[in-house]
């Protein structure tokens, strides 16, 4: 089985071919980061135009790199949400057009399911598993029971974790996307210099909140800035203290999650997914807290944590196997919660 996957829900135009045997035959990604960088965040109109301009070429390259002809493709899977609607429409329409012309099934993929099932592509992880899904737009703890079967254990009450990284980066003038920049700065900083609040620490349940932390970071930036300029060591110290705090918050929330999950499921697998899962410090925190509860951490390679089309093609594999295909009426959706 060979599935073509298409992803365009944010600022990556991506296409990939993945097989039913978990082989990634191609994984082409065109990042628009440079185009959005001057604005400090993704500009939806610029993103949509760029997707239109590049999509055909990216899809052709995915097919070419895989060494395949159109007739070799068994189904076309495209992200139909959630995301920036202009980009989602481009990917959805491209996927539908290809499926229609090729006479092959179309699979409408939820981008979050792409992140959620990546560990099955990379590590053949068995259901059920506990999932920490942390991206630019989402921050959730879920029990993954099967394809399309999720139970929500926790959610963010305000910002997503990636958003918290991006906003911190913006306050410090580190550009977009902020996560990798904050992580790099944190390596040279003193994590103990700023004692930021630990939102919801000790509170029952598995929900997250990052707005208090954001305010604390803003106040610290103001405090150390001289004529609006923050010295290099101050930037590093704020990033290190911020990232340390995030680690503590995530460990605290996960302790609750292991207990809540353990009441219903016997499996001891924790998967981390989404762009923020690329963060090495967060991975090490998860590794240690998972160990406390006898869980094994599965973290996909960094390149498959951030947005890509291999994860979308893989959802296509999983869904086609179950006969879960879609009609050409499937609609692009800006909002589409997993549960
Ligand atoms: O999954 P993703 O690529 O796109 C969405 O679906 O949102 O996640 C992007 C988010 C951004 O907020 C970005 O700053 C964050 O993931 N991110 C990171 C790192 N790499 C990407 N956050 C922290 N550390 C990183 N190394
Ligand atoms: Zn994503």
Cis amide bond preceding 128, omega within 30: yes
Q: For ligand 1, is residue 199 a contact (CB within 6 Å)?
A: no
* DSSP strand pairing (12-19 vs 2-7): antiparallel
Q: For ligand 1, is residue 112 a contact (CB within 6 Å)?
A: no
What's the gap in Å between 88 CA and the centre of ligand 1? 18
Which residues, chain by chain, have CB under 5 Å from ion ligand 2?
Answer: 135, 307
Give which of 115, 114, 161, 125 is closest to 298, Cα–Cα: 125
In angstroms, the CA 339 to CA 330 distance is 18
What's the gap in Å between 303 CA and the centre of ligand 1? 11
Residue 238 belongs to what H/E stretch?
Answer: helix 232-262
In angstroms, the CA 246 to CA 240 distance is 10
Query: Which of 140, 162, 185 best tests ligand 1's pocket when mutated (most atoms within 8 Å of CB)?
Result: 162
Q: Which tens digit of pLDDT belongs to each residue from 305-328?
A: 999 999 999 999 999 999 999 999
pLDDT given for residue 201 in this prediction: 83
Q: What mean pLDDT comes out for the span 12-37?
A: 97
pTM greater than 0.95 (yes/no): yes
pLDDT given for residue 202 in this prediction: 81
Give the closest ligand to the alpha carbon of residue 303: 1
What's the gap in Å between 47 CA and the centre of ligand 1? 17
What's the gap in Å between 7 CA and the centre of ligand 2? 10
Q: Nearest-5° angle of CA 219, CA 220, CA 224?
A: 120
Q: Which tens digit of pLDDT belongs to each residue from 270-281?
A: 999 999 999 999
Q: Which tens digit of pLDDT belongs to each residue from 238-261?
A: 999 999 999 999 999 999 999 999
Q: For ligand 1, is residue 83 a contact (CB within 6 Å)?
A: no
Q: Residue 117's Cα: distance from chain center in Å?
A: 11
Give the closest ligand to the alpha carbon of residue 275: 1
Give the closest ligand to the alpha carbon of residue 135: 1
Residues contacting 73, CB < 8 A, separation 6+: 2, 3, 4, 17, 63, 98, 102, 104
- Asked if pLDDT for residue 183 goes beyond 90, the answer is yes
Which class for 124: exposed (0-12), middle (13-18), buried (19 or more C-beta within 10 A)? exposed
Q: Residue with the nearest Cα to atom 16 of ligand 1?
A: 275
Give the closest ligand to the alpha carbon of residue 136: 1
pLDDT given for residue 200 in this prediction: 87
């Amino acid at each position: 089985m060979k599935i073509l996957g298409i992803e365009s829900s944010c600022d990556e135009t991506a296409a990939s071919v993945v097989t039913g045997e978990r082989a990634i035959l191609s994984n082409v990604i065109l990042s628009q980061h440079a185009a959005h960088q001057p604005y400090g965040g993704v500009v939806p109109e610029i993103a949509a135009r760029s997707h239109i301009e590049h999509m055909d070429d990216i899809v052709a390259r995915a097919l070419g790199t895989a060494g395949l002809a159109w007739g070799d493709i068994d189904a076309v899977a495209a992200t139909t949400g959630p995301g920036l609607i202009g980009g989602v429409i481009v990917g959805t329409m491209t996927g539908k057009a290809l499926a229609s012309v090729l006479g092959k099934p179309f699979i409408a993929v939820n981008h979050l399911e792409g992140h959620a099932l990546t560990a099955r592509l990379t590590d053949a992880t068995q259901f059920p598993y506990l999932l920490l899904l942390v991206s630019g737009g989402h921050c959730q703890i879920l029990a993954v029971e099967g394809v399309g079967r999720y139970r929500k254990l926790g959610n963010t009450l305000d910002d997503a974790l990636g958003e918290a990284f991006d906003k911190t980066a913006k306050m410090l003038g580190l550009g977009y996307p902020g996560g990798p920049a904050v992580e790099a700065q944190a390596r040279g900083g003193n994590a103990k210099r700023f004692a930021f609040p630990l939102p919801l620490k000790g509170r029952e349940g598995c929900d997250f909140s990052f707005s208090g932390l954001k305010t604390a970071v803003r106040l610290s930036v103001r405090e150390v800035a001289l004529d609006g300029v923050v010295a290099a060591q101050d930037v590093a110290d704020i990033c290190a203290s911020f990232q340390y705090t995030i680690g503590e918050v995530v460990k605290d929330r996960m302790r609750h999650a292991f207990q809540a999950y353990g009441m219903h499921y016997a499996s001891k697998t924790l998967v981390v997914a989404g762009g923020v899962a690329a963060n090495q410090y967060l991975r090490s925190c998860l590794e240690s807290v998972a160990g406390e509860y006898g869980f094994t951490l599965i973290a996909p390679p960094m390149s498959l944590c951030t947005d890509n089309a291999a994860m979308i093609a893989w959802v296509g594999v999983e869904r086609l196997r179950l006969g879960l295909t879609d009609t050409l009426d499937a609609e692009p959706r800006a909002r589409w919660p997993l549960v």
